[in-house]
Structure 1
Amino acid sequence: MFRIVALAIALGSYGMAQAADDAVARFKNYLPRQIMELPEKERSSSVPMMFVGAANLAISDFGDLVIQANLNSLMYNGLGDYEDAKRAFQADLGEEQTGNLTVWQIHTLGYRASRLNLTHVSFFPFEFGGVLSDGRASVKGTVKIIDEKIAYPINHTDIECFQTEAYCKYRQVALVLPDENSWAQSYNVMQVANDYYKITRWENDQIDAIPYNSAACRINQLSLNFATKEYFEIARNNTSGDCDTGLGVNLPRLEKPRVSQIIDGREIIDAEFKRIDEEARGYLSSVFRKRVGSIKTIRVENK
């Protein structure tokens, strides 16, 4: 059930983001004062919250100081030459250099400045492998969907199996990475799954198990091979068509079984943090990046 709830939340969030696209396009070029001049009813019902927040920030007593600090963190001269810094930021966005920041530009500036603070964290133990001994077994690692993108690539999975009791306990937690539409630019830990599986086979260093909850939209079978050190999950349809989760989200029918493997996730996790780091560096002032690039070129030439 936890797994379905997590997936439903992800799908629901995607749907909400899609529905908000029109509102973003409609109000993105508004100036803060134009947002605040809208009738309160329209502002609360139609304007994206991120734009309302940007407008409130801009008209506050400390708004300019926060914007200047954000510009400075991205290597624009926000404190020394505020007007020029705003225009330089607009130029890097490919927008008209008016010096008057729109609510979208203020929101984007805050997002980019916050992105610099998302450093590499080691929340999950880098444990991978399986142990089978005396009627007990355990598998730990990172789940990766083969040939497909996984919703939560930074995850840690822990499976414990008991031969006499004929069941396995499956737990999975994930580090959820924020994006531009997130309420806050911080990491969140989420429990993706907390399920019990019935063991259907335990022989020749292999364990197969299916979930006790047979009414779910999909059946997720465990196939654990301790001899070859290969640990798989195989998700199959449990309905003839799309499945209603009961949470306002329909899960589409799988065209074929979805195979996932529990692996050593260090490369996956490192790649995710590298992606965030490269994204953040790309938000720095273009003038600053050019200067850094010229220094690197000089160093190479002097070698």
Structure 2
Amino acid sequence: MIVRPRPHWLRMLFVWRGSVLLDIALQLLWTTAFAVLVTVLHGRLFQWKVPLNFVPFSLIGLTLAIFLGFRNGTSYSRYWEARTLWGTLLNETRSLVRQVLTLADAPAEAGKPTLRLIAFVHALRHQLRGTDPSADLARLLPPEDCARLQAARFKPAVLLLMVGEWLRDKRRGGHLDPTLAQAMEIPLGRLTEALGGCERIAGTPIPFTYSVIIHRTIYLYCVLLPFGLVDAIGPMTPVVVAFIAYTFFALEALGAEIEDPFGTSPNDLALDAMSRTIESTLREMIGEPQPMPAESRSDKYMQT
């Protein structure tokens, strides 16, 4: 994900990174070239004049805009819910570590559940992206915990279980009052809910038929549009077609990109940066300061 201050209006006109322009460049060039060909032939196809004007395109464009608005709104809702869930991870891990430090009678042992919570965050990131968490787990956990997680399919869930087992052991050992242990289960339960929410978003894409309908309609619209404009605006037809095609292609590409907010595209969530932030703040709470690296205010990037 790219995070940076809004650039000057003139510079924004020429921004490439994060603009999805590279993703749609080939389609845009092909559509514009076809519009140029239609303009040169004056709207004729094999000596047959295609009888179109701008009226049907006004009606179809309105319908297409509604479909694109629905698709992009749904995609952004998934994106924002995912961001909210990762905010919950930050808040609830902080709350749980604070309770371990202040409510349990063994604050010196707080490092064990804290590292398990940090490992949970990194393991969740890897699970959502389908990557291997072994390096992060080996960095954070003792060998016996890593061995237990090796065969686990859902490692984040097992790590929350291990944190719960630590609370159980402290309660049985008399280091934690049962009432306080029950209170500490609340943030642990919220972490489980956040885990389930992330898995739901990652495992339930927008129905494929929406993408098919929008994709087909956009291409048919952009291919036929030059025939409806050439008699009215003449040589400006390719320019107008390029602008309209850019708008539709870019909106479609952006909706598809943020539909899965846990990916590694420029506009997806910065899970790497958020994981490091959670690790840094939890380590600091147990007395292991981990300052975040300094970043330039004028051109700050957080890229996954």
Larger radius of gyration: 2
Higher-strand-fraction structure: 1
TM-based fold match above 0.5: no
Higher-helix-fraction structure: 2
| Larger RCO (CA within 8 A; separation ≥ 6) | 2
Give TM-score, length-normalised by structure 1: 0.24
Give TM-score, length-normalised by structure 2: 0.24
